[in-house]
Structures are given as C-alpha cells and as structure tokens.
Amino acid sequence: MTSPTTAASRGSGLSADELAALKPHVVDLHRGMLATGPDGEGEYFTTAQDVQDIFGTHLPAFLEGRSGPTPLMVNAHGGLVTEASGLRAAEQRIPWWKDNGIYPIFFVWETGLVPSLADALAGWLSGSRGPGDFKDRIVELAARFGQGERVWGEMKRYAELASSEAGGARFFADQLGSFVRAHPDALSIHAVGHSAGSIFHSHFLPVLLDNRGVDRIESVSLLAPAVRTDTFKDKLVPLLDSGIGKMAMFTMTDDLERADNCVRVYGKSLLYLVRASFEPRVGDPILGLQASVEADPVLAEFFGDPDSGSSAEVVWSTADTGPSSSSDARSHGAFDDDPATMESVMRRILGGRKDIRPMPATRGAESLWPAQPRDVPVPTWPNAATRKALCVGINLYEQPQDQLNGCVADAGAWATELEKAGFQVHSLTDGAATREGILLKMLELVATSSPGDTLVVQYAGHGTTAPDLDGDEAAPGQGKNQEDEALCPVDFRSGELIIDDDLGAIWDQLPEGVALTLFFDSCHSGDGQREVLSPAELAEATMERRLPRRVVLSDEERKAFMTRRGYTGSGAALGRGAAPSGPDAGPAAQPQASNAVDRYKAAREVLFSACQPDELAYETAGHGDFTAKAAPLLAAAIGTMTNQAFLDKVAADFGGRQHPKANGQAARLGLTFLGPESHDGAGSGGAGKGAAGKGAAAMSAPPASAATQQAGQRADDAEVAALESTLAQAQGAAGHRAAKVARLLRAIADVIEE
C-alpha cells in the first residue's frame, strides 16, 4: 500500500493515485531491501507482496491477448539518483514502454546520496583557485578525502546487497524465474542500466541466470556505465552468448566526457570523477570511459562497432549510425532522457523493429545535479588572510594504550605563538582530528592560498608505517625505507591512515609564491611515529610523564588499511607486493613513469621534525619536548633567522635522547624562517636564489656519535644520484608514479630513512 500522505508533502510531487499506479512497475529498494511494512518508510515503498502481485496480477493482465514472447524490460537507474527523482522518471516513462508492447520494471534505489556529494563538491566553488584541470584536481582531492569515496562505496554496497540472499532484487529474480517456468514462452527478458545501474546489473543478472528459471537474457543495454572494468569482465563478460544474447554500450567519446561537468564545479564528467576520487584505488578503469576500453585489449576486442556482427557493440555518442545505434547524449545524465539513445535501445529490445512510437519529451527533465547545494560552508580562513595555519593535536585515541598526554597542549602552544605572529589559526583536536577532517582542512589551506601567503601545518600525535601498496617505496634511491609513512588520525585503527602519498598529493597543488612550513612533533618524525608501549611500559612512562609517540600496526590493522585502499595481500609483509583487489592488476597497481626527481628537487615545503629517523620523540610534563623548545622561539625567529638558524637554535637545548632535523631543498634552509616567498618561487632572504639548483637536503643537529654531514647534503645523495641517472635512461618507459619519489624529501613524517 501507498502511504496516504498528501502530494504537497511528498518529495516526488506525485499524487496518491499516481504513486499507486506505479505499483505494477516500480520496485523500490531501501539499502537493497524490500520493505516489511509502512513503518519508517517514505512516500513509496515495495513489499514482498507487491512483487508477488506483479507476477500474479499485473503482468498476466498485460499479457492477456498477446501472442508470442512479450519483452519484459528491467531498468536500473544510476545509484546517485534520489528516490523522488527515480519515481518521477518512472512515472513519465512507463506509458511509452507499454505503448510499444514492452512491460517495464524500474528498480528505484532509495539512496538520496547525490545532495551530499553535491554539497561536498560545491563547498570548493568559491574558495579554490584556478580554472580548468588545476581546479579539477583540487575537486578530485576534496571528493576523495571528503564524502566522495564513502558515498560511492555505500551506493555500491546497496547494489550488491540487493542481490544478496535477503535482497529485494534476489526476491524479484526468484518470482520472475517462477513465472518463466510456469509460462515458458510468454516473455523475453531484457536489461537496461544507466551509470551505476551497470553496477546493480553486474550483481543482479548473474543471480537471475543462476538456475531460477530464466536461462537467457536477450539483450543488455548499458548507458554511460560507471562499473569498474574488472567487475564487468568478472561478472558480465562470461555470460555473453551463454546467458546473455546481445549487449550494447552507449557512452560518450572522451572529448565529450571532458566537456561535461559535475555540479558546475568539476569540469569533466561523473565517470572521470569516479575514476579519480570514488573508487578505493585511484585511476581504476571505468567501463564507460573510452580511454579505459581502448586501453584494455580484452574490452577492445570484446566490443565491436555497430552493425559489425559482434554480440557486443559500443556506440560512442554523439552518433547517427542507424536506427538501433544512435545517440545525441552530450552529458553523463542525459542518456536515459535522450530520444535517439532510448529509441535505439527500444529497437534492440524489439529485435530491430523500426515502427516504434517515438519517445515523448519528458516533462521538466531533471539534471543529475541540483542547481544549488543545500549548504555551502563558510571558509575556514578569511579570504584576506596571508598568514594561515592549521594546528592538529590528538591525545584521546580510542584505545587506552594509544592515548597521549601532551599533543593537544602542543597544538595549543603552537596556535598561541602563531597567533601572536599574526597567523589566522584553525585547530583540530582529538575527536575532530579524523582522517577526513585533517585532509580536507589541509587541502582547503593550500587550495585557497595565493602568491605571497605563508602557510603552517603543525601535527602532534601518533605516526606509523603502512604497507607499500604500489611498490614505489622499493624504487631505486629509496634507501632502507620499504613502507609508506603515515600519520595517525583519531580513527586510524579502522584503516583511516594518512599516508605520505595523500599529503604529497596536497602539497603538489601548492601555488608558486606560497611558502609552506611543517612542524611535526612525533617520533622519528621522518617516520612520523609515536611508539605504543606495553601496559607496564605505559604505566611507568605515564608516572614519569615521559611518553614516546609511535604506534605499530597489527596484522589485522594492516589488512584493514589495505582493504580501505582497495588492495588485498597475504604473507608476513602484509603489503609488500600487494595486489589490487579484483582480477585485474591494471595500470593503477604499477609504479608509473614520472618526473619524480624533478618534483623532488622542486618541492617548496620545509619540514621541521622532532628527531632523527631512528629516534623517539618524547613528551614530558604535558608537552612534546620539541614543541616545548621550538614554539617559544617563533616570535623572535620569524623574519630574523634562516630556517637553518632556527633549527640550530632549537637543537642547542636538547640533550642526547633526540635530535631535531629539517627536511627540504638545501636552498630553502637558508631562507628566512616563516617569511613570505617571492612570486618567482625562489623564496625570500638568505641564500635562496644562489643555491636554487642544489636539490634537497635533510639538515639536522646530529648526535655527537653520528658522522659529520656537510650542509645541504643527505646521507643517501649517492642513491638519489643513481635514481636520477636511472630515470633519465628510462625516460618515457613505465616507471614511478608522478611525485612519488618526492617523499624522499617531502617528509611526511620525515620520509627520509637514513
């Protein structure tokens, strides 16, 4: 039954009678499940009895008086479409399908996820700088670090749950199979899926063909499919000819994908955003992207041109290649509203019949994206601010053995000193310092900066190392470091680590003429770690108020991290040589050729870390030892000292248990501490311009027993030189991903391991 609410209160705007008329044709799923009754449901819901009524009453009435197999079309719309939008679309399109002798079934996903995604992206419209691809990269990072991956992952889980043992789509498949067994010549089965509807069908169609009474699906038409290519090849490609008769894909050329937009913020299609931001592995091939198909030998052979005689064909919109192979769609959301596309799909369902009733114009066809987001957040830092800082401190980790005493106080001490120096400071502490929260604020700090700005990021909390998922840490020149360095947000135990790759992707967006300085008070800040102690050690250290800041991940937590990133692995290393999940390793899993050494030399950030890579950074009497000595020196050092002089001043007061260091270009260590950078990128003050070509340095105040190291040089300079030579010889060949080797000096948690 339909909830007796008034039309005015319904999100769809449909009347009670209009909603009731949808019952024979619309199956509404909430999180993949059918409703058990009206309680807690929205304006429209579907129960198991409603599905049984389709096959017991409504479909037989439609078939009465018809001869030969009647087409039954199962449509799955995109998973980002709201329930209200899906209901309105179904209400408008059902009569057209029936008028052409086809019985339509529309699966409507009750997700309502697109407003959240639109809000997440639109918040970057007013603040982020730059047009075109540069701004698109900012949006991609915002979507990945924010709600994008979570929203998309939730939608995919709903698609899979729908065809699970208790899912609503599986129940529908059982009922359809029973009907076909009882009426073997009454129906021909067809499937249509738009965007994420291809993900829905990748789970549903194998279930439908699994000994339920349906042994053949005559045609499958996928419109701008958002399914990953590995999922498609695993689940649907093997069914062609054995269970699926014909398959067609209608999607845009790469030129049109790049001319599309999302929320009028992102200057490419949704499929580009899915590939860059929504899937766990960055760059996973997406079926609807022309580049993904043409780069995959299996798919390039699988799909033939229209009228090629192939069982699987692809139509690249825009195209006018015959009555069954045409499309005028010019945006991702347009395919299921485009008459040329939908009439081509219908003719394929009807076996090529040309005398169909044309698709009527839809009433007020809706864009996939809302005209305006519901809520555009206020910028964190005033637009006019030229000195901006982010301070992060975490004491209250979820597990008692992880908890620290002095990190929040550290963040407060840095904030106080920075505010005295004229910085606008935003702080994240304890529960607010999640992975998402930290990364989005870091990205906002960089994305809203302009030439002449001075930025500071301070972090106090645990750090760790995590499995190297893409092999870049094993590259020549990486020294002994074979894992990704990681910071530990408050939610890190569930796999929500911030690895150096995440931070490097943000720092890569730093505009010319913007100075960025990082202060990390954590154990071997090059490894960004604060040690987790045994219960006895923890009790003793707490009594002495001396806590080192480092955690070591368990095997289970390493697996959680790998799963979070879309990888699986086994063995003691739990990460080294890990393979991406799914049957395809694909390009995303391989280190790629890049200008890594160039980025390594060009990095403009300077990191001050609390200790050497093989040391612990301690906290004593409620503050990190590094913070207690460094923060009070800020006021006197800003504008009067070089970065190297500031390091020397801090290190002079330390004893023997930890030795602070600084990482960055050698030239930058001679620049003015927290001074603005010149617009030519050379920096201000000191010896910056004269030493600009000397590469990177890890400057430190070494232990007395350590070997003497010249200013501006690194212990692994020889390895770096070898790396430069190797990359120069292999230029143009498959190699390391862009900017990955930059972590040698970028030092997210002091990446350099000596």
34 and 178 share a domain? Answer: yes
How far apart, in whole angstroms, are the C-alpha atoms of residue 532 and residue 397? Answer: 12
Asked whether the predicted pLDDT for residue 60 surpasses 50, the reply is yes
Segment among 212-226, 293-307, 712-726 with least mean pLDDT: 712-726
Asked whether the predicted pLDDT for residue 319 surpasses 70, the reply is yes
Average pLDDT for 449-454: 93
Asked whether the predicted pLDDT for residue 229 surpasses 90, the reply is yes
Is 30 or 541 the better-scoring residue by pLDDT?
30
Is 64 or 661 the better-scoring residue by pLDDT?
64
| H helix runs in 555-662, sequence order | 555-564, 596-602, 625-630, 634-637, 643-651
Residue 359 lies inside a defined structural domain of this protein: no
Side-chain-side CA neighbours of residue 516 (13 Å): 30
C-alpha dihedral, 520 to 522 to 527 to 531, nearest 10°: -170
Let me know the angle formed at the C-alpha of 598 by 593 and 603, rounded to the nearest 5 degrees.
Answer: 120
Asked whether the predicted pLDDT for residue 347 surpasses 80, the reply is yes
Average pLDDT for 252-266: 88
Q: What pLDDT score does 701 carry? A: 43
421 and 301 share a domain? Answer: no
Q: What pLDDT score does 122 carry? A: 55
> Regarding beta strands 244-252 and 217-223, do their DSSP bridges make them parallel or antiparallel, or are they unpaired?
parallel
Preceding omega of 318 cis (within 30 degrees of 0): yes
Is 526 or 327 the better-scoring residue by pLDDT?
327
Question: How many CB atoms sit inside 10 A of residue 585's CB?
Answer: 11
Token pair 């409620």 is at which residue? 622
Is 444 or 468 the better-scoring residue by pLDDT?
444
Place 689 in a pLDDT band, splitting at 50, 70 and 90. very low
Q: What pLDDT score does 8 carry? A: 33
Q: What pLDDT score does 696 carry? A: 40
333 and 410 share a domain? Answer: no
* Residues linked to residue 70 through DSSP beta bridges, in sequence order: 187
605 is in which domain, residue-wise?
401-746
Distances (CA, A) of 359 to 190, 316, 324, 333, 338: 18, 21, 14, 17, 9
Is 438 or 615 the better-scoring residue by pLDDT?
438
317 and 422 share a domain? Answer: no
313 and 438 share a domain? Answer: no
Place 196 in a pLDDT band, splitting at 50, 70 and 90. very high
Place 745 in a pLDDT band, splitting at 50, 70 and 90. very low
Domain end position, chosen among 313, 330, 349: 349
Asked whether the predicted pLDDT for residue 264 surpasses 90, the reply is no
C-alpha dihedral, 295 to 240 to 234 to 335, nearest 10°: 60
Backbone angles phi, psi at 468, to 5 degrees: -80, 105
Contacts of 415 (CB under 8 A, 6+ apart): 389, 391, 425, 427
Residue 627 lies inside a defined structural domain of this protein: yes
426 and 312 share a domain? Answer: no
Tens of pLDDT, residues 274-317: 999 989 888 899 999 999 999 999 999 999 999 888 999 999 99
How far apart, in whole angstroms, are the C-alpha atoms of residue 746 and residue 727? Answer: 19
Asked whether the predicted pLDDT for residue 741 surpasses 50, the reply is no
345 and 454 share a domain? Answer: no
Shortest CA distance to 750 belongs to which of 697, 712, 713, 709?
697
| H helix runs in 364-477, sequence order | 407-420, 435-447
Place 80 in a pLDDT band, splitting at 50, 70 and 90. low
Residue 365 lies inside a defined structural domain of this protein: no
Q: What pLDDT score does 261 carry? A: 86
Asked whether the predicted pLDDT for residue 258 surpasses 70, the reply is yes
Distances (CA, A) of 553 to 14, 294, 463: 53, 40, 10
Considering the chain, what is the average pLDDT of its residues? 77
Average pLDDT for 150-171: 92
Residue 386 lies inside a defined structural domain of this protein: no
> Regarding beta strands 454-460 and 515-521, do their DSSP bridges make them parallel or antiparallel, or are they unpaired?
parallel
Residue 389 lies inside a defined structural domain of this protein: no
Asked whether the predicted pLDDT for residue 1 surpasses 60, the reply is no
Distances (CA, A) of 343 to 69, 226, 365: 20, 22, 17
How far apart, in whole angstroms, are the C-alpha atoms of residue 503 and residue 742? Answer: 11
Average pLDDT for 200-226: 96
Q: Are 517 and 674 in contact (CB under 8 A)?
A: yes
Residue 387 lies inside a defined structural domain of this protein: no
CATH number at residue 629: 3.40.50.1460
Segment among 256-260, 283-287, 453-457, 553-557 with least mean pLDDT: 553-557
Is 609 or 585 the better-scoring residue by pLDDT?
609
Burial (0-12, 13-18, 19+ Cβ within 10 Å), 99: exposed
Q: What pLDDT score does 272 carry? A: 94
How far apart, in whole angstroms, are the C-alpha atoms of residue 472 and residue 451? Answer: 32
Average pLDDT for 721-743: 36
460 and 315 share a domain? Answer: no
134 and 214 share a domain? Answer: yes
Q: What pLDDT score does 143 carry? A: 84
Decide: helix, strand or coil at residue 470. Answer: coil
Average pLDDT for 190-195: 96
Domain end position, chosen among 284, 315, 349: 349
Q: How many domains is the chain partitioned into structurally?
A: 2
Side-chain-side CA neighbours of residue 390 (13 Å): 23
Asked whether the predicted pLDDT for residue 699 surpasses 90, the reply is no
Domain end position, chosen among 283, 317, 349: 349
345 and 407 share a domain? Answer: no
Residue 367 lies inside a defined structural domain of this protein: no
Place 21 in a pLDDT band, splitting at 50, 70 and 90. very high
Asked whether the predicted pLDDT for residue 174 surpasses 90, the reply is yes
- Calculate the CA 217 to chain-centre distance: 34
Q: Is the dihedral of CA 581, 570, 734, 475 positive or negative?
A: positive
450 and 310 share a domain? Answer: no
Tens of pLDDT, residues 118-136: 655 555 544 444 445 678 8
Q: What pLDDT score does 352 carry? A: 86
Q: What is the DSSP string of 540-564?
A: HHHHHTEEE------HHHHHHHHHH
Q: What pLDDT score does 590 carry? A: 38
Place 148 in a pLDDT band, splitting at 50, 70 and 90. confident
Backbone angles phi, psi at 5, to 5 degrees: -85, 160
Q: What pLDDT score does 721 carry? A: 42
| H helix runs in 357-457, sequence order | 407-420, 435-447
Average pLDDT for 662-672: 86
Tens of pLDDT, residues 514-534: 999 999 887 534 433 334 334
Let me know the angle formed at the C-alpha of 428 by 273 and 701, rounded to the nearest 5 degrees.
Answer: 100
Can you read off the two tokens belonging to residue 252? 């845009």
Q: Are 479 and 718 in contact (CB under 8 A)?
A: no
426 and 493 share a domain? Answer: yes
Asked whether the predicted pLDDT for residue 587 surpasses 80, the reply is no
Average pLDDT for 606-626: 81
Question: How many CB atoms sit inside 10 A of residue 78's CB?
Answer: 29
Tens of pLDDT, residues 428-451: 999 999 999 999 999 999 988 999
Residue 668 lies inside a defined structural domain of this protein: yes
Tens of pLDDT, residues 348-407: 999 988 899 999 986 544 455 555 545 556 789 998 999 999 999 999 998 888 888 889
Percent of the residues in the chain that have a pLDDT greater than 70, as a whole number: 70
Q: What pLDDT score does 38 carry? A: 73
Average pLDDT for 46-55: 96
Q: Identify each DSSP E strand in 68-186 by its residue range.
A: 70-76, 103-109
Q: What pLDDT score does 206 carry? A: 98
Is 536 or 64 the better-scoring residue by pLDDT?
64
Q: What pLDDT score does 551 carry? A: 67
